[in-house]
Amino acid sequence: MAGNARVGVDVGGTFTDLVLHDPCGNRVLTGKLLTTPEDPSIAIINGTARLLQEAGMAPGDVHSLVHGTTLVSNAIIERTGARVGLLTTEGFRDSIEIGRETRYDLYDLFLEPSRPLVPRFRRLEVPERVSAEGEVLLSLDEEALAAALRRLVEGEGIEALAIAFMHSYRMPAHERRAGEIARALYPHLPLSLSAEVAPEIREFERSSTACANAYVQPLAQRYLDRLEGSLAAIGFAGRVYIMLSGGGITTVREAKEFPIRMIESGPAAGAMAASFLARLCGLDRVLSFDMGGTTAKMCLIEGGEPHHKFEFEAGRVRRFQKGSGLPLKLSAVDMIEIGAGGGSLAAVDPGSGLVKVGPRSAGARPGPVCYGLGGVQPTVTDADLLTGRLDPFYFLGGEMELDPGRVKTAFSETIAKEIALAPEEAALGVERIVDETMAAATRLHLAEKGKDPRGYAMVALGGAGPVHACALANLLKIRKVVVPLGAGVASALGFLVAPPAIDMVRSYVARLETLDFERINGLFAEMREEGWRLLTEAGAGPAEIAFRPSAEMRHLGQGFEIPVLLPGLVLSPSDLPAIREAFFASYRARFTRIMEESPIEVLSWRLQCAAPARDIRLGGPGGAESAGLERAKRGLRKVLFESEGWQDCAVYDRYALPVGARFEGPAAIEERESTCIVGPGGVVSVDALRNLVIELP
């Protein structure tokens, strides 16, 4: 019988972060170790065993483990997924390759398109046709379907199958029947039906999502089976849950069936942790800044909830070029991800002679130069070490000693030599470049939403986040930065505070004045039943599940729609004025003006299903509160700042800082998984939750 403790695990490109919460003892323990790219489950098992040993607990004391991984996104980026076959409606074999017929860069004569995951010779057509209204125009040819299946499986050796028929979001019977035939002929073949993976309008995006789901299904199933087996081998008897891209958690069974829904599970966890902290601190408008070893993620959080989106691009040919990737229809936390992490590689561009930082990363192997694991090209972490921001003897709490001599040599022989600066000045330049890169991307992200960063507080997370948070906040003119205790592993905390939740969607296109409310209420009833079933399976109490309906709406003739909250789960013609006003309010918030006379139409109907997250109490009384501020001081360390030059920074032990403490920068506040750097003029206070609250000049 499993106990009450819960473990959250975030497998990143460089580090694997872990958090253990013991509600009986009100304890939160953290851990961080290098990711094992050859098999991520190795780091998970080793880290979990170590945390349990520190807590004096056995694997049987753990109720559940919540996990997020980059496995799915890596498989699509690196093209290491399964051999997939696609069955589609006769005449639509090439729709996933034709796409939207747009160019993501109009002026590039040598434009490289995003290749579909299924090559043409593994895409076969089947006679069948359904109209946009759901009327069967041509019945499914089952004999032709069986012949196409045999050709794909026995002739082409496919490892997974996707089925995407025209307008199946409107009438899925043909896809379901095709699925039944496929399962009868080949029971062990992983299968993805587009009407189940993404039951939404827009043929290209729906087919692309189904293919992507099939592409990663075998890989995800093997990985999750191996993880469950490895956990069972050490005596773990609890449940394993998986973080979804939208910030909710689900069962392993559901993750195996729809693995594409966890493509952004790791980054989403950081946003959920920041949302949790924002609610605890009473902050209504927050910019979450999560900088790890490989990337930095920014997310807007308003009213204690992160922004969401329902379209995502994976495997971009140009990493930050919209339109260059594979479009996916799924719910995801709306954030920007930048190739700017502690492991981001720095070098002088031979063409321009300018220093470039990222997006390539040293990863966990070989890692930054200072790790001494074979890295030779300087990284952001190396720059942070050379400028005094990191203590070479207290990295990971002293478990991993860094080599500043090796770093100085690497800078001297590369960047510093090529731009004729001292190694430390070159390192400072690398830091400024990465900070400016993050600031520019954040400004653009907020501008697209009509937001001003000056009206937000920043919550800094990740191993490198607290190191760069104050510098980034200054560039964005943000005056308040909050750094939680355990910021370096806060994304793993996000797994434990995320609610069991899922977003359901159905498409039904109609103008407001012609809505069929009986049909709409039937769609919501269907989604409510499915969401209720999935969440109760994930451990939610049936009476605790809440439902929030919304619709995607637009003016007639527009190419894109906006989300609009609906007044209830059961709608009637009397709700039309409220729906119309809700659309205008959402439209005005985005575009500052409305067009009252223009007709309005609805494309899709959504239902967010969520249960309350488990409560985790942070802070609280302990030895640190009774200690004085002077006892938290470890001494002084020279740190190089851009405007002030080398400064004597007071170094503080994060765990010994008392609640209510207040001091001024320059300062370095160290904990096992991260270091917070506060420049001259910054004022730091420790609140009741033991967060560092930094007021910048």
Question: For residue 93, is pLDDT > 90?
Answer: yes
Paired strand residues for 511 = 601
**Does residue 392 have a cis peptide bond before it, meaning omega lies within 30 degrees of 0?**
no
- Higher pLDDT: 300 or 592? It is 300
Q: Give residue 3's pLDDT band: very low, low, confident or very high (50, 70, 90).
A: low
**CA dist., res. 10 & res. 488, Å (int):** 11
**Side-chain half-sphere of 69: how many Cα atoms within 13 Å?**
27
Q: Is residue 159 left, alpha or beta, with left meaning phi > 0 and alpha meaning psi from -120 to 50?
A: alpha
Residue 625: the pLDDT is 44
Q: Which residues contact 590 (CB under 8 A, 6 or more apart)?
A: 449, 450, 562
Torsion angle of the four alpha carbons 329, 330, 333, 334, in this order, in degrees rounded to the nearest 10: 10
State which amino acid sits at residue 96. Answer: I
The strand pairing partners of 64, in sequence order, are 6, 239
Q: What is the mean pLDDT of residues 398-406?
A: 90
Q: Which residue has the higher pLDDT, 301 or 626?
A: 301
Q: How far apart are the first and last CA of the chain?
A: 54
Alpha helices in 234-298 (DSSP H): 252-257, 265-281
- Joined together, the tokens standing for residue 675 give 């270091």
DSSP per-residue letters across 650-692:
EEEEGGGPPTT-EEESSEEEE-SS-EEEE-TT-EEEE-TT--E
5-75+222-262 topology per CATH: Nucleotidyltransferase; domain 5 (3.30.420)
DSSP secondary structure of 519-571: HHHHHHHHHHHHHHHHHHHTT--GGG-EEEEEEEEEETT-S--EEEE-S-SS-
pLDDT tens string 31-58 = 888 888 778 888 899 989 999 988 888 8
Distances (CA, A) of 175 to 5, 91, 166, 272, 426: 43, 16, 10, 36, 59
Residue 573 DSSP SS3: helix
Give the pLDDT confidence score for residue 619 in this predicted structure: 54
Rounded to an integer, the average pLDDT of 192-213 is 94
Residues ≥6 apart with Cβ < 8 Å to 241: 64, 65, 66, 67, 249, 250, 251, 252, 500, 538, 539
Mean pLDDT of the chain: 90
pLDDT at residue number 175: 96
**Which residue type occupies 377?**
Q
Which residues share a beta bridge with 337? 297
CA dihedral 429, 431, 436, 437 (to 10 degrees): 110
- Give alpha helix (H) positions in 14-158: 40-55, 71-78, 95-98, 142-150
Tell me whether strands 600-610 and 645-653 are parallel, antiparallel or unpaired. Answer: unpaired
Where on the phi/psi map is residue 689: left (φ > 0), alpha (ψ -120 to 50), or beta? alpha
What would the two tokens of residue 277 be?
A: 């902290």
Average confidence (pLDDT) over 401-423: 93
Which of 31, 149, 161 has its CA nearest to residue 85? 161
- Average the pLDDT over each of 89-93, 167-171, 247-251 and give the range with the smallest value: 247-251
Cα–Cα distance between 617 and 615 in angstroms, integer? 7
- Angle ∠(88,522,213) on CA atoms, nearest 5: 35
Q: Find how far residue 11's CA is from the centre of its chain.
A: 12
Q: CB-side exposure of 254: number of CA atoms within 13 Å? A: 23
The pLDDT assigned to 626 comes to 41
Contacts of 329 (CB under 8 A, 6+ apart): 198, 200, 202, 205, 206, 209, 310, 311
Strands (E) located in 23-149: 27-34, 62-68, 84-89, 123-126, 129-130, 136-138
- pLDDT value of position 320: 64
DSSP 13: S
What are the tens digits of pLDDT across the range 233-288? 998 988 999 999 998 888 999 999 999 999 988 888 889 999 999 999 999 999 99
Sign of the four-CA dihedral 249, 74, 483, 633: positive
Q: List the structure tokens of 421.
A: 């600066």
Amino acid sitting at position 485 = L
Please name every residue paired with 10 in a beta bridge, in sequence order, or none if there are none.
17, 68
Lowest mean pLDDT among 230-234, 443-447, 538-542: 538-542
Q: How large is the average pLDDT for residues 56-66?
A: 89
Q: How far apart are CA 37 and CA 14, in angstroms?
A: 9
- Side chain identity at 288, as an amino acid letter? S
pLDDT bracket for residue 366 (50, 70, 90): confident
Among the ranges 233-247, 400-414, 466-480, which has the highest mean pLDDT value? 466-480
Name the residue with higher pLDDT: 489 or 466.
Answer: 466
pLDDT in tens, 556-612: 988 889 999 999 999 999 999 999 999 999 999 888 888 988 999 999 999 999 988
How many Å apart are CA 141 and CA 69, to the nearest integer? 40
- 202 backbone φψ class: left, alpha, beta (φ>0; ψ -120 to 50): left
The model's confidence at residue 624, banded by pLDDT at 50, 70 and 90, is very low
For the beta carbon of residue 229, count every other beta carbon within 10 angstroms.
Answer: 10
| Domain extents in the chain | 5-75+222-262, 80-210, 501-610, 623-695
**C-beta of residue 416 within 8 angstroms of C-beta of residue 428:** no
DSSP SS3 for 621: coil
Specify burial of residue 633 (Cβ count, 10 A radius: 0-12, 13-18, 19+).
Answer: middle
Rounded to an integer, the average pLDDT of 306-322 is 82
Average pLDDT value for residue range 386-415: 92
Instruction: State the helix-helix crossing angle for 404-413 and 423-448, rounded to 10 degrees.
Output: 80
| Residues forming beta bridges with residue 502, ordered by sequence position | 609
| Mean pLDDT score, 71-100 | 91
Distances (CA, A) of 221 to 84, 259, 309: 15, 8, 26
Strands 15-22 and 5-11: antiparallel
The strand pairing partners of 243, in sequence order, are 249
Where residue 437 falls among pLDDT bands split at 50, 70, 90?
Answer: very high
Nearest-angstrom CA–CA distance, 328 and 199: 12
- HSE-CB at 162 with a 13 A cutoff on CA atoms is 33
**Nearest 5°: phi and psi at 262?**
-110, 25
Poorest-confidence range of 20-29, 39-48, 140-149?
Answer: 20-29
Q: Over 471-526, what HEC string results? A: HHHHHHCCCEEEECCCHHHHHHHHHHHCCEEEEEEEEEEEEHHHCCHHHHHHHHHH
Q: Is the confidence at residue 645, as pLDDT, over 50? A: yes
User: Percent of the chain having pLDDT more than 70?
Assistant: 98
The bridge status of strand 457-461 relative to strand 285-291 is parallel
The amino acid sitting at 321 is Q
